[in-house]
Chains A and B, each alone.
Chain A
Amino acid sequence: MIDIPSARSMTKIEKAIVISLSKDGKAYLAFADQEMRRETLQKMVERVGERFPDLKTITPEQTKQFGFIEVFGTPLEDLPRVLKLNGGDYKTYQDKLPGIPTDSVHNQLADWIWAARYANPKMKIAIKGDKSTNIKDVQRVIEILTKDADVHRFNLITTLGGATTTEEKKEE
């Protein structure tokens, strides 16, 4: 569960490519609609299929299955196996998603963002971090966005907490 920090901003965000960052710095992706998830996966297979030959074994049926995954956080090398899991097994797997690798050797997050942008260029990009996510992890994601994915304008998801923020701070 991600505890979103509060800020004054009142701009609502409807649909976006959301990069979630958990407390321990794991990255997840969430897109708004199913069709886009499927398209993103197809683009992803085209892009990195050479590096991960296993991805080519994904059937259309499994692609359809991918569309139902709301929050996604699996390393590419594990993806074919995860898509084969049945409902119950997937549920247990979902409780401890490993996250998308963001380190410079396996920078899969950049590939995913590239594929998602290809699937829907108009979609905004948002970062959803936990209050206590280490700044290092956030800055890594920002670096990936600006340097690797060429995204220079994005959103930080916050909740409206205007008056409560100061009190919270005093408590701490």
Chain B
Amino acid sequence: MAEIDTSGGGGHKDGKVRAKKMSTKVDLTPMVDLAFLLITFFMLTTTLNKPSAMELNMPKKIENPDDKPEEVRECQVLNLLVDTLDQVWYYDGLTVAGLQKTTFAGDAGIRKEILRSKKRVLRECGVSPKTNKPRPLICLIKLMPGSRYKNMVDILDEMDIAQVPVYAIQEYSPIEKEAVDNGGKVTTFATGN
């Protein structure tokens, strides 16, 4: 019969040459040793997942009125409105017009628009007389009511990724609120700031 003889030949009755009986027991000690070694190794090499932090600087109240900050050109400004559906609406300049929406999704989302605006500002906005450097892009972040903390961290993260030199979190204006609520349609034409 087709059987695997595990008894080391002990089953034969005919008294022929038999193989030596082998013990089937396995010594587990080395395995346990190795397991403990591995456990110890991983315990020592794993670092605990410490939380990281993102620094945020809020403006101080200007105490000396003569010490005016540099004037901002309209063309430097990119407004980012974060709504409740994880979407970002954006428009250039100070007039709420041509509102468009995008998402946070990686390279194709808002990051692309920020980088595009960065190039545009560099091209079009000239040189600042104060620092003698090209005027930087300024992002004004507005968090719509009902948006979540995650959105705030996401948009600040985008600022970090795109290396936007100047950005600020601001209050949204009623016009902006209306425009976002109407799906980007602007009915009142006025400045958003």
Contacts and interface: CB of A to CB of B under 8 A. Distances in A.
A8 B160 contact: yes
Contacts of A21: 149
Q: Counting chain A CB atoms within 10 Å of each CB, which of B145, B149, B157, B161 scores highest?
A: B149
Interface string B41-73: 000000001111111111110000000000000
Interface of B: 49-60, 86, 103-106, 143-154, 156-157, 160-161, 169
A138 B160 contact: no
Chain A interface size range: 35 or more
A67 interface: no
Interface in A99-158: 126, 128-136, 138-139, 142, 145-146, 152-158
Contact of B58 (A129, A142, A170): A142
22 contacts: A6-B153, A7-B157, A12-B50, A13-B53, A131-B150, A134-B146, A136-B145, A138-B152, A139-B143, A146-B58, A152-B59, A152-B60, A153-B56, A155-B53, A155-B56, A156-B56, A157-B51, A157-B54, A158-B53, A158-B54, A165-B104, A169-B86
A82 interface: no
A145 B57 CA distance: 11
Contact of B105 (A12, A132, A166): A166
Interface of B, secondary structure class, is: mixed
Given A13-B53, A158-B53, 13 more contacts: A5-B154, A8-B160, A11-B54, A16-B53, A132-B150, A133-B149, A135-B148, A152-B60, A158-B54, A159-B51, A166-B104, A166-B105, A169-B104
Q: Counting chain B CB atoms within 10 Å of each CB, which of A146, A166, A170 scores highest?
A: A166
A160 interface: yes
Q: Counting chain A CB atoms within 10 Å of each CB, which of B52, B56, B103 scores highest?
A: B52
